[in-house]
Amino acid sequence: MTGDPLQGFPSPSFPSYPLGRNPSFSDLLRGASQATGAPSQPSGSAGPDLRVPHGTTVLALKFTDGVVMAGDRRAVEGFSIADERIDKVFPADDHSAVAIAGAAGQATEIVRLFQTELEHYEKVEGDRLSLEGKANRLAQMIRGNFPMALQGLVVVPLFAGYDERHSEGRIFRYDVTGGRWEETDYHATGSGASPARGTLKKRWRHGMDKPAAIRAAVEALYDASQEDAATGGPDTLRSIFPSVKTITASGVLPVAEQEVREAFEAIVETTREARRQAGGSQAREAEPPRSAERR
Amino acid sequence: MAFQPYVPPEQLIKDRSEYARKGIARGRSVVALAVDIGLLFLAENPSATLHKISEIYDRIAFAGVGRYSEFEDLRISGVRLADLRGYSYGREDVTAKTIANAYAQALSTIFTQQLKPFEVEILVGQIG
């Protein structure tokens, strides 16, 4: 007449949770896989030749109502393009989203686990985690992936959400060891991160409105695609545009493709206009070799 | 070795179910209705912190009456089962049937094998 009264139901791997119930889904999952004898993380080295799809540039920037999060659509396997329409920005729950650069398979799995983790917590506790709590939980999950990162399956996310308790958008960045830092204005991660950050540095303004923030995000990704082979640029012919989401008090909402297309076309038009105004100056710049010949 | 008096199984079951029924009768009722847009769960609940009605999964809800700590254990076990199923397979593979069967198994085991039966009555509802 002893033992677990609720045998047959899954239970977390740490029954010795200090007091009360453990609201963590990943602990529950670990307990269940231990019970079924499923392998945990593989050992050994994958080596540098392991070819798996890698997602590339993602970014987030704050605007008046919250955060705009965007990612290019390309995944690469070594030097070839694995996917041209991959989405790297995922809603984590109603008020937060995670964008991931790195090994695509590993990344989507971490996102799925993170989504379930937040949902599970909310149902067990009857209350949502704070944004800080969500960011910390994600850090622990990235730290948990560290053995895989050592084998080449690096996953580096960007986490952003609308903090309902402080009524503001917040951005968190991570490193491969699970280090977590909060960004004040904007951040980009992935292979094209540095040109994207360069653009955001020039374009970001305090108190930007939504269209301006979307335009800055699209421009940053466009610039990244010009500098980095692994980042895909907008493709008007096949209608491939960056995936952009806004995170505000009203939730995580995808920005319509038409809006992204218009932002991109506005950038193209501005660039074209600037070149037109510069007029012959660029043509003249091409002349020096001839004058050098004359000498 | 301790001396155990013989109790006929019929008597044992009767005593236990009587005990459980008495416990449940002290609680306040929950009503479930099928309405045009889905299901309506209604409970009289004097507490703002203890939940008698809760979400188990996308389209599955739970309600319990009786001893709170006991149906809360059942509720959390249901949430765990549903989330684990949904994560391992797919969101559509989580059904009230699976959860109701697991509850039936658990409650039956508790009723016969534990020192004291659970003093609870629970409802599981699913739409779609």
The domain that holds B26 is classified in CATH as: 3.60.20.10
Total domain count, chain B? 1
pLDDT at A34: 75
Q: What is the mean pLDDT of residues A91-100?
A: 95
Measure the CA angle with vertex B72, ends B68 and B74; round to 5°. 125
Pair type for strands A180-183 and A168-174: antiparallel
Residue B53: band (very low, low, confident or very high) from pLDDT cuts 50, 70, 90: very high
Of A8, A11, A25, the CB nearest to B105: A8
pLDDT at A295: 46
Q: Is B59's Cβ below 8 Å from some Cβ in A? A: no
Interface test with B, best of A29, A120, A123, A124 (most B CBs within 10 A): A123
Residue B67 lies in a domain: yes
Residue B103 lies in a domain: yes
- Judging by beta carbons within 10 Å of its beta carbon (0-12, 13-18, 19+), is residue A128 exposed, middle or buried? middle
Contacts of B54 in chain A (CB under 8 A): 123, 126
As a dihedral over the C-alpha atoms of residue A171, residue A108, residue A24, residue A123, rounded to 10 degrees, the angle is: 80
pLDDT at A205: 95
Contacts of A21 in chain B (CB under 8 A): 76
Question: Which residues are paired to A243 by β-bridges?
Answer: A71
Which domain range does residue B59 map to?
Answer: 9-126
Separation CA B127–CA B60 (nearest Å):
7
B81–A5 CB contact, under 8 Å:
no
pTM over cut 0.90:
no
Contacts of B84 in chain A (CB under 8 A): 10, 28-29, 32
Of B55, B73, B114, the CB nearest to A123: B55
B73–A29 CB contact, under 8 Å:
no
Residue A174: band (very low, low, confident or very high) from pLDDT cuts 50, 70, 90: very high
- Judging by beta carbons within 10 Å of its beta carbon (0-12, 13-18, 19+), is residue A134 exposed, middle or buried? buried
B102–A10 CB contact, under 8 Å:
no
Of A1, A11, A123, the CB nearest to B114: A1
B102–A9 CB contact, under 8 Å:
yes
Residue B4 lies in a domain: no
Residue B1 lies in a domain: no
| CA R_g for chain B | 17
Strands (E) in chain B, as ranges, are 30-35, 38-43, 53-57, 60-66, 120-126
A6–B54 CB contact, under 8 Å:
no
Contacts of A32 in chain B (CB under 8 A): 84
Residue B24 lies in a domain: yes
Give the pLDDT confidence of A181-201 residue by residue, as tens digits.
999 999 999 999 999 999 999
Strands (E) in chain A, as ranges, are 54-55, 58-63, 66-71, 75-77, 80-83, 89-93, 96-103, 155-163, 168-174, 180-183, 186-189, 243-248, 251-254
Other Cβ atoms less than 10 A from the Cβ of A9: the count is: 21
B102–A8 CB contact, under 8 Å:
yes
pLDDT at A29: 87
Q: Is residue A233 within 8 Å of A214, Cβ to Cβ?
A: no
B86–A9 CB contact, under 8 Å:
no
Of A7, A29, A124, the CB nearest to B76: A124
Q: Is A56 a catalytic residue?
A: yes
Q: Could you give the ipTM of this predicted complex?
A: 0.86
Residue B54 lies in a domain: yes
Give the pLDDT confidence of A131-167 residue by residue, as tens digits.
999 999 999 999 988 888 888 788 889 999 999 999 9
Contacts of A114 in chain B (CB under 8 A): none
pLDDT at A67: 97
The H or E element spanning position A225 is: helix A210-227
Residue B18 lies in a domain: yes
Residue B3 lies in a domain: no
